[in-house]
Amino acid sequence: MSTHKIAEKWADRSPELRSVLRIVAAFIFMQFGAAKLFAFPMALLPGGGTVRVASQLGVAGLLELIGGGLVLIGLFTRPIAFLLAGEMAVAYFQVHFPKGFWPAANGGVATVLYCFIWLYISAAGAGPWSVDAKRGR
């Protein structure tokens, strides 16, 4: 098989790979929310505590856990992913940017990447392996 045909077949898989990106990113993203709210699978706060739900970090944890879960299954993906992109932009400028401009230096790499992954998913959609696709959305 020629390189051209391999590249063509690979490009034909882009909708499925978009679904894989959405699923894997959402699964990892949900862990940040679970860590904030339940200290599972690890504690993020000093001393192993959890955040108060009625706080900004609590709302972020709910968005990450519930919003991430909806994106994981691909339900209401476009609006939820757009909301999560906004959450990540706020997180970056509130938490990381004050420590310096460069994400690699200020600890904001994951935040920036999630912001743009969710922005892409909000524009491109959930892909074929999603509840949205089954619903015809």
Q: Is the pLDDT of residue 1 over 80?
A: no
Is-above-0.75 flag for pTM? yes
**pLDDT, tens only, 67-110:** 999 999 999 999 999 999 999 999 999 999 999 999 999 999 99
Q: Is the pLDDT of residue 128 over 90?
A: yes
Q: Could you count the other beta carbons within 10 Å of the beta carbon of residue 73?
A: 16
Domain ranges of the chain: 3-125
Please state the three-class secondary structure of the chain as a single string.
CCHHHHHHHHHHCHHHHHHHHHHHHHHHHHHHHHHHHHCCCCCCCHHHCCCCCCCHHHHHHHHHHHHHHHHHHCCCHHHHHHHHHHHHHHHHHHHHHHHCCCHHHHCCHHHHHHHHHHHHHHHHCCCCCCHHHHCCC
pLDDT band at 31 (very low <50, low <70, confident <90, very high): very high
Mean pLDDT value of segment 8-37: 95
Q: What is the pLDDT of residue 2?
A: 78
The residues, ordered by sequence, that sit 6+ positions from 12 with a Cβ below 8 Å of its Cβ are: none
**pLDDT, tens only, 35-68:** 999 999 999 888 889 999 999 999 999 999 999 9
15 contacts 128 by C-beta, under 8 angstroms: yes
